[in-house]
Amino acid sequence: MFRFLVTRISSSLFALLIITVIVFLLSHLSGSPVDALLPDDATQEQIDSFVREWGLDQPLWQQYLTFLVNAVQGNFGTSLKWPGEDAMGFVLDRMPATLKLGGLAILISVVIALPLGIAAAVYRGSAVDHGAQMFALLGQSMPNFWLGIILIWVFSVWLGWLPTSGMGTFAHAILPAVAIAWFQVSALARLTRSAMLEVLDAEYIKLARVKGVSEGMVVWKHALRNAAVVPLTYFGILAASILTGSVVIETVYSWPGMGWVALEAIRGRDFPVVQAVIIAYAVVYMLSNLFVDLLYVVVDPRIRRG
């Protein structure tokens, strides 16, 4: 178990190092922030001063080393688009907003997808199954930014039930969470359905039925507990997808989370914030995967013992 942990953490740290190289190079190779942040009629003096201030006149490798040393200390510099704001501090300040939205989206996904997947498996070939598959197909086919806009028009403009955008009340979170969750509901429901179908055909389920165990107990206790391993492994991907999906949805709904920051920073060539937000995403992604790996160890004794 200890060895497993050490290996997983080491590989995560190595991946993080590679990510820092990629992030640094991409943010520098995609163009100079000078041209995004200084006015069109900026003088050479203004440009030179900006370049000196941000160390852009140093060789690239030296800029990377400085970036890496500072990054290890959590120092990504100050934001260019939001002057005076510490880049990582600015990103972390917005993390709770993303986690709230992501948490609600995951909750919606799990609460809807599991019963949907189970029902589709139990009533295989029935209208319930076809309905669930149609629902899943829709969710996986619709781009979430489009779905987000449609939800705004239906529930905010036409029905007037929910606010269009922004953050503040629980009502503000409902539409963006649904827009993020629908795709995940589809994926999770399909996975649950296929896992349940496999388990429901197993010998021990037949034995339980023969022994007179009620159908509810068979499905919810004996079948689901074994089938749950498959959707559980998907949880890491789910968490990551919800985080990355938040980039578009947070922008559509003007939800001030990390995804919104990422897009605004990219638009404004605010490379300290771009670097900070991507590293923050990477760390969250790795932690969620590590968490799932650990859960997997807890759930599956073969890994624990191996």
Partner 1 sequence: MIRQNDKPRAMPVRLLAAVLLASSISGMNAHAIDAPAQGRIVIALSPLGADSNLYWTTTGAFILPSMQTLVGNDPETGKYDNSQLADSWEHNADFTSWTFRLHPQATFNEPWGPVTSADVVHSFNMHIGDDAKLSGISLFKKIEITAVDDHTVRFDMPSPEPNFLFSNAGRGSLVIYSKAQFDAEGIKGYETSPAGSGPFKYEGREVGQSIRFSTIQDHWTGVNPEFDEIEFRWVSEPSTRYAMLSAGEAHAVTLPRDLQDDAAEDGQTVLVSTEGAMQTTMLFTGQFMNPEAEENRDARTYAWGDQRVREAANRALDREAILEVLYGEGVRPLPVYTMDPRFPGFSEELAARFDTDYGYDPDKAMALLAEAGYPDSFDNAKIPLVVTTLAGNPEFAQMAELVQAYFDVVGIETEMREQDWATGNTAIRGFTADFITPMRNAPVRPSALGVQIFFTEHASAHLNIGDPELNQLGGKLGNETDPATRDALLAKMFTRIFDTYAHLPMGEVPASVVVNSELVEGWTFPGSTSSGLSHFELIDLK
Residues 74-133 that bind partner 1 (CB under 8 A): 80-85, 90, 96, 99-100, 103-104, 106-107, 110
Which residue in 16, 56, 95, 149 binds partner 1 (CB under 8 A)?
149
Nearest distance, CB of residue 27 and partner 1, angstroms = 12
Near partner 1 by CB under 8 A: residue from 18, 68, 137, 171: 171
Determine the interface stretch with partner 1 among 19-27, 55-63, 170-178, 277-285 (rule: CB under 8 A). Answer: 170-178
32 binds partner 1 (CB under 8 A): yes
How many residues bind partner 1 (CB under 8 A)? The answer is: 75
From the CB of residue 167, how many other CB atoms can be counted at a distance below 10 Å? 18
Do the Cβ atoms of 171 and 162 come closer than 8 Å?
yes
81: amino acid identity, one letter: K
Rounded Cα distance, 107 and 99, in Å: 12
Q: Residue 131 or residue 268: which is nearer to partner 1 going by CB? A: 268
- Residues in contact with partner 1, shown as a per-residue x/- string from 254 to 293 under the rule CB under 8 A: x-x---xx-xx--xxx------------------------
CB 114 within 8 A of CB 136: no
**129 vs 120: CA distance, rounded Å:** 4
- Residue whose CB is less far from partner 1, 139 or 176: 176
d(CA 230, CA 196): 9
What are the structure tokens assigned to 237, written together?
Answer: 């991907």
Q: Which residues ranging from 181 to 210 are in contact with partner 1 (CB under 8 A)? A: none
**Scanning the structure block, which residue is given the tokens 């880049």?**
87
Give the other-Cβ count within 10 Å of 242's Cβ: 26
Bridge partners of 78, per DSSP, are 86
Q: How far is the CB of 278 from partner 1 (least distance, A)?
A: 18
Do 273 and 261 meet the contact criterion of CB atoms below 8 Å apart? yes
Question: What is the number of residues in the chain?
Answer: 306
Residue 56 Cβ, how far from partner 1 at the closest point, in Å? Answer: 12
Closest approach, Cβ 67 to partner 1, in A, equals: 20
CB distance 260 to 244 below 8 Å: no
Q: Which two tokens stand for residue 284?
A: 């969250």
Which candidate, 226, 230, 31, places its Cα nearest to that of 113? Answer: 230
Map residues 210-249 to x or -, x wherever contact with partner 1 holds by CB under 8 A: ---------------x--x---x--x--------------
Please tell me whether residue 53 binds partner 1 under the rule CB under 8 A: yes
* Stretch near partner 1 under the rule CB under 8 A, chosen from 54-62, 118-126, 148-156, 210-218: 148-156
Beta carbon of residue 70, minimum distance to partner 1 (angstroms, whole number): 20
